[in-house]
Structure formats: structure tokens, C-alpha cells
Amino acid sequence: MTDQTALVYLIPCTIAPDSQHQVITAQVRKVISEVNYYLVENIRSARRFISSLNIRDVSTIEFEVFNKHTANSEISALMSPIERGLSIGVISEAGCPAIADPGNRIVLWAHHHQIRVVPLSGPSSIILALMASGLNGQHFEFHGYLPIDKTLRLKKIKLLENESLKTGQTQIFMETPYRNQSLAVQLVEQCNLETLICFASDITDTSEAIITTTVEKWRNHLPDLHKKPTIFLMQARSSHF
């Protein structure tokens, strides 16, 4: 039987360097100051993030790794502090836990064991990009990474564009930063001229750039996205603005 006072906190962290003072809320800071056990994607990154807040001594905190390689059979042991009445904080490598992140498995385990899950507000590159894109925010889908194979990727791009044209849905996806430019080139080469594309890069950083326009216009001035964290958004249209 778990301690009903112990909670699972989903704690957002920064998605751009040195942005903690702008994007990390007082509520998040309070929780971090009180919780002593964390499941994190990367211990080094989590330590650095908490240290940057200047609210506590990081050496007093216990960290355990939970990432995409963690087996489901290991979750019970990782969550065992709950049985001692200790709340658990979950921190992703960047942004919000359980969004494009394996933390959802921790959350599902918590629900199965009737443990309250508390999501805290913070930066999510996917949501912030959608908000600033001007594209359909009432019907959208996040696809994660597109196929690496060029042929399969081109097929996927056309499939997403056709689906968007039929439904009005905004298609959202991402790429490893060093492959951003090749994906951008493929998008503007393969999509219809009227299709709207948003490149949202370096979100919450001082170099943030979020711009939406048609494929036709992008073909004349494609931005340099190489190695810049970027969210890609697409909405097909049958005519211009």
C-alpha cells in the first residue's frame, strides 16, 4: 500500500541555455526545493539545471536514471520511495516530462497504483511552437521524428500533407538538429506551393525564430536551421492566405 501523501511531480526544465530565470515558475522552484528524490533522463543535466536555480544544495538530492532504455520491470523499484512517503520528481532532458519523452511510463505506473500525479507548468517547445505558428491549434498531431530513410521520409511528408489538406490538421514533427537543414529542403521541394510551413527554432532562447509562410515563399529564402533545435509544423491549404 502506497503512502497517499506522496506525489509524483512532473517538473519542466529549460529548453534553452540560461533561460531558467525567465521560464521556470515559482511553483516549480518551490517543489524542487522540497523534493529530495528524482527520476531523470540524465543525471548530469538534471544536476546542472537544479544548480542553476540557486535554491538548494544539489548534493542533498538523490537521482536515479529513467530513460527510453529503462525496462518496465524496473519501474517499481525506482518508484519505491513512494512507499516511504517520499514524493518523486520527474525531470526530462529538456522541456516537459512525458511529452515526446519516456516519462509517460512513470505516469501510467503512478495511475495504476492510485498515486496522484501533479503536472507543473513550464516550457514545451511543441506547444510554444504551435501557439506562435498561426496554424490550426484545435486539430493537430505530433509525429515525433520522421523516417531517416530518404524515400520513406518523402512518402511520409506527402502523406502528412495530404492528411492535412483533407482535415485541416496541423502536422508537427522534429528532427535531430544536424539533419534539420536536409528536412527543411525536402519539405519545400516536395510540398505544394500553397502549403504553410512553420520553422520554430531556438525556442525561448535569445536567438528564437518562429516564422510561418507558404512553401512558395520559403523556396526563395530558406533559413539556416543547421544544429538549431527546431520544431517543424505544416498545414496544407488549397489557396494562399
Query: CATH number of the domain that 68 lies in?
Result: 3.40.1010.10
Residue type, 158: K
- pLDDT of residue 3 exceeding 60: no
Q: Do residues 113 and 130 both lie within one domain? A: no
Answer with the one of 98, 119, 140 that is the final residue of a domain: 119
Answer with the one of 58, 93, 119 that is the final residue of a domain: 119
CA-closest candidate to residue 208, choices 189, 190, 230, 186: 230
- pLDDT of residue 2 exceeding 60: no
Q: Which residues contact 148 (CB under 8 A, 6 or more apart)?
A: 179
CA-closest candidate to residue 234, choices 152, 150, 140, 124: 140
Predicted local confidence at residue 5, as pLDDT? 84
Structural domain span for residue 197: 125-235
Say if 24 falls within a structural domain: yes
The Cα 95–Cα 104 span in angstroms is: 14
Q: Do residues 74 and 129 both lie within one domain? A: no
Specify the number of domains making up the chain: 2
- pLDDT of residue 239 exceeding 70: no
The pLDDT confidence band at residue 1, using thresholds 50, 70 and 90, is: very low
User: Cα 220 to chain center, whole Å?
Assistant: 30
Tens-place pLDDT, residues 162-183: 999 999 999 999 999 999 999 9
